[in-house]
Amino acid sequence: MAISASLVKELRERTGAGMMECKRALQETDGDIEAAIEAMRKSGQAKAAKKAGRTAADGVVELRLADDGSRGVMVEINSETDFVAKDANFVGFAEAVGETALGSTAADVDALAEQPLAGGDGATVNTAREALVAKVGENVQLRRLVRFDAPAGRLYSYRHGVRIGVIVDLVGGDETLGRDIAMHIAATNPMCISADDVPAEAMDREREIFRAQALESGKPPEIVDKIIGGRMRKFTEEVTLLGQAFVKDPDISVEKLLKQAGASVAAFARLEVGEGIEKKAENFAEEVEAQAKQAE
């Protein structure tokens, strides 16, 4: 049957798909727009499933705080390439996911995926994700969700570009200090707040490394212990928020900066796109050769 331009237009507006894809879906369903939408969603799910195994290590960190600073969320949303991460469709989806996360009580990305997407047509986050995969041709994944509440303080945030997000629970202080501390964390990536919070296994690992280095230098045992003590103090200063030199004024530590303001950090979280994901090294020549063999 002949498919009218107005019907194609309506389907495009409802699905966001391309004109030819909409026309083809309508032709296959004899102009039944609801059946066409269902078929396109199924097709999107199939395409998403095929791409799900591909490494998605690019993307954005979406960050949202409640107006009163009492709660906040960060969501890492991955794509395969920086090109798609900048695509308007991906950006719009990511922003909607951030709003959905803040407005929901979802504790992790699996629960978030089942929430109705903010500003959508009732479709869930996962359904919208599958449709986006079909549209952009890349694997898109919700990787991490961090949810924050500040019962004793107030939340402040900083986002560096779109790839790094930080939320800080600050007790005391003001907005300027809160943003400065969040910015500092974005730049230095501390392991934890204070020396007491450094994991025992991390301390043991560094201590053994320093001991081996000192013994290899031929120093006597009594000197080795002093060397190790000094290096461990320096290590804890480098990896803890309070021990680090403040990035905007290296002559003062973060701990001293907070004390001067009568403030303290109760907690913080930092997300960076792709951290911990092993990217596959692509060899273009091998990829072309493999594709050629498949075509034979």
**Final residue belonging to a domain, choices 149, 169, 191:** 149
The per-residue pLDDT for 22 is: 81
Q: What is the DSSP letter of 240?
A: B
pLDDT at 44: 58
| Residues 280-292, mean pLDDT to the nearest whole number | 50
Mean pLDDT for the chain?
Answer: 85
Per-residue model confidence (pLDDT) at position 291? 47
Who has greater pLDDT, 134 or 258? 258
- The structure tokens listed for 69 are 């600073």
Answer whether residue 132 is part of any domain.
Answer: yes
Kindly state whether residues 57 and 144 are assigned to the same domain: yes
Instruction: Tell me the pLDDT tens digit for each residue of 65-77.
Output: 999 999 999 999 9
137 & 57 share domain: yes
Do residues 84 and 118 share a domain? Answer: yes
- On whether residue 17 sits in a domain, the answer given is yes
Task: Specify the higher pLDDT residue, 147 or 231.
Answer: 147
Do residues 73 and 99 both lie within one domain? yes
From 115, 149, 183, the end of a domain falls on: 149
pLDDT band for position 51 (cuts 50, 70, 90): very low
Q: Are both 44 and 130 inside the same structural domain?
A: no
Q: Is residue 42 assigned to a domain?
A: yes
Pair 134, 77 in one domain: yes
Q: What CATH number corresponds to the domain at position 139?
A: 3.30.479.20
Give the range of the structural domain holding residue 65, as residue numbers without chain letter.
Answer: 52-149
Q: Please give the pLDDT value at position 227.
A: 81
Q: Is residue 165 part of a domain?
A: no
Flag whether 169 is in a domain: no
Claim to verify: residue 24 and residue 58 sit in the same structural domain: no
Each residue's pLDDT tens digit, 137-185: 888 999 999 999 877 789 999 999 999 999 999 999 999 999 999 999 9
Helix (H, G, I), strand (E, B) or coil at 104: coil
CATH number at residue 20: 1.10.8.10
Confidence of residue 20 (pLDDT cuts 50, 70, 90): confident
Instruction: Give the pLDDT of residue 267.
Output: 94
In a domain, 104, yes or no: yes
Q: Which of 116, 149, 182 is the last residue of a domain?
A: 149
142 and 74, same domain (yes or no): yes
**DSSP characters for 138-159?**
S--EEEEEEEEE-SSSEEEEEE
Q: Do residues 129 and 67 both lie within one domain?
A: yes
Judged on CB neighbours under 10 Å (0-12, 13-18, 19+), 275 is: middle
CA distance 256 to 69: 24
26 is a domain residue: yes
> Pairing between strand 264-272 and 164-171?
antiparallel
Identify whether residues 97 and 15 lie together within a single domain.
Answer: no
Q: What is the total count of domains within the chain?
A: 2
pLDDT at 294 over 50: no
Give the pLDDT score at 95: 97
The residue with tokens 């403030």 is 263
In a domain, 59, yes or no: yes
